[in-house]
Structure 1
C-alpha cells in the first residue's frame, strides 16, 4: 500500500478553450471538475492502475464535501477542518498551453495541523511501502511540516517521497530525510539557486540535492521526459512526442508510476515517463489507466550527453 498526504487538496475545475485572449470573449469547448492536490492525484493514478493506496487529506466546508464526493470510493482518511477546502481553475488551450489559477487554501489551526499529523501517524502503523508527502502547504501550516512528517515515517521505517516547491521544499530537502525527491526542473533550479538549461546542469543539481542525505532525485522535464539521479548514476527517460491536452497532474502521475512497483532504477524511470506522458494526453487532471500507459515506447539512456538542452516541468 502506498500512503499519500496532501495538506492542501482542492476541487479542480478545468476549462478547455481554443485560445486564451486577455480582454476578449473566450468560448469554452468543454469543462470538467475533478478532485485535485498532488498527493490526491498520486493516489488516484495508483488506484486507477490497480495499486493499493490510502490518501490522508484535510477537508472543510461545502468544497470539502464536493471533494469527498469526487473522490468516490478512493480509500482515504479525511481530517475535518473549519475553513473551506480551496477550489482551483485551469485554462487549457488547444496547443497544450496550461494556465492555472490556484487559491491559497484554508488556514489551518495548530490543532488541525496536529490532527493531520496524527492521521498520518496512525496510517504509518499499517506499514505502507511508501509515504508520499506532496503539494503546497496551506496557511497556518509550519514550513517544516514535511520534515516532521518524514520524522514520523522514519520512526516506522517507511521511505518518503517528497514533491513540493519553494520554501517547503528547501526546508525539507536539506534535512536529508527523504528516499526520493520529485521536483520539476524549475523547482530544482529555484532550490539550488541557479539556471539548469542542460542535462549536465540538471544532473549536477540532482546529485547535489541527493548528497544532502536524500536517496534519489527524479526531475520531470516536461516534453523532454525525466531525469533520475540515484547512487551516483544518472538516467534520462524520453517518450515519443505527445499531443498535449493538459499538463496538470502529469508530474504526479509520473511519481505514481515510479512508485507503483519495484525494479531497477531504469524500470522505475521508464514507468514514470510513460505514466506522465499518458496523463498529458488526457483532459484536465484525468489520470491514465493501463490502456493509456505504454512503457515500451520510452527510451532510457544511462549517463546521457551533458550538453543536451532541457526545459519545461
Structure 2
C-alpha cells in the first residue's frame, strides 16, 4: 500500500480552449473537474494502476467534501483531517499545442493543532504502507521544517519516504535522509543555486542532493526524460511521446509508477518514464491506466548523455 500526504490539496477544474485570448469570452471544447494536489495525483495514479493507496489530507468546506467524494469514486481510501479553512480551487486552461495556463489558489491556513493532527494521522495509518509519498507545497501555517518532522516520525515507524517538494521544505527535509526525492529540473536548479543547461549539469546537481542526505534522486528533465541517481547506480530514461495534451500531474504519475514498481533500480525508472509519458497524452489531470502505457517506447540506459542540451534549460536567479 502506498500512503500519500498532501498538505495543500485542491479541487482542480481544467478547460480546453482553441486558443487563450486575454480579455475575450472563450468557449471550452472540453472541461473536467478532478481532485488535485501532488499527493492526491500520486494516489489517483497508483489506484489507476490497480494498487492500493490511502490519501491523508486536510479537507475543509464544500470543496473539501467534493475532493473526498471524487477520490472515493475512483476507489481511493481517504483519511481526511478536518480543518476550519476551505480547501482551495484551482483552474487550468489547456491549448491544443500543449500550452497550459494555471491559476492556483493559496489555500487555507492551518492551525498548530491541525498541523499536529495531520502528522498524527500519517503515523496512525503508516503501519501498512510500503511507501509514504509526501508531496506538494506546504499551506500557510506549516513551516519549512514540517516535512522534516514527518520524515523523522515515518522513519521511526519503519516506513520509507518519497518526497516531492521544493525550496526550503526540500532542503530542510534532506537532513532526515528521505529514501527518494523527486525534483524537476527547475527545482534542482533552485536547490543548488545555479542554472542547469545539460543532462550532465542536472546529474551533478542530483549528486549534490545525495551528498546533502537524499538516499536517491529521481529527477524529471521534462521532455528530455528522467534521471535516477542512487546507490544501485545512475540511469537515464526517456520515452517517445506522440503529442502533449496536458502535463498536469505528469510528474505525479511518474512518481506513482516508480513507487508501484518497487521504488529502486532501472525497472522502477522505466515505469516512472512510461507513466509520465502516458500522462501528458491524456486530458486534464487524468491518470494513466495500464492500457495507456507504452513500455516498448521507453529506453533506460546507464550511458548518460552528459553533453545533451536540455530542451528547457533551468535558469536560476538569486
2:241, 2:281 within 8 Å by CA — same for their partners in 1? no
* Runs of 4+ that moved beyond 6 A: none
Counterpart Cα distance in 1 of 2:234 and 2:19 = 38
Q: Which runs of 5+ in 2 are unaligned?
A: none
Compared CA separation, residues 164 and 242, structure 1 to 2 (3 A): farther
Residue 87 of structure 2 corresponds to 85
Q: How many Å apart are 1:27 and its aligned residue?
A: 2.6
- 1:106-153 Cα distance to aligned partner (Å, 9 max, x none): 0000000011011001012x2411100011111111211100110111
CA shift at 1:226, angstroms?
0.8
Q: Compute the displacement of 1:176 (Å).
A: 4.4
Q: Summarize the alignment of residues 180-219 of structure 1 with structure 2, pairs less than 5 Å apart.
A: 180-219=180-219
Aligned to 2:155: 154
1:281 aligns with 2:281: yes
Is contact 2:59–2:81 with CA below 8 Å preserved after alignment? yes
Q: Structure 1 residue 63 and structure 2 residue 35: aligned?
A: no
Shift of 1:231: 1.8
8 Å CA contact retained: 2:232, 2:265: no
Aligned length: 311
Q: SS of 1:214's equivalent? A: coil
**How far apart, in 1, do the equivalents of 2:263 and 2:232 lie?**
17
Shift of 1:29: 1.1
Task: Give deviations 1:261-281, integer Å, cap 9, x for gaps.
Answer: 228611111000000111100
Counterpart in the other structure of 1:145: 146
> 1:240 & 1:10 partners in 2: Cα distance?
31
SS in 1 for 2:80: strand
Query: Structure 1 residue 25: deviation in Å?
Result: 3.2
Contact 1:127 1:156 in 2 (8 A): no
Q: Deviations over 1:36-64 (max 9, x none)?
A: 11011001110111111111000001111
TM-score by length of 2: 0.95
Counterpart-to-counterpart distance in 2, 1:276 and 1:139 = 29
What is aligned with 1:112?
114
C-alpha RMSD of matched pairs (Å): 1.4
Show the 5 A alignment for 1:1-20.
1-20=1-20
Pairwise CA distance, 1:99: 1.3
**1:296 maps to what in 2?**
296
Q: Is the 8 A contact 1:233 1:303 kept in 2?
A: no
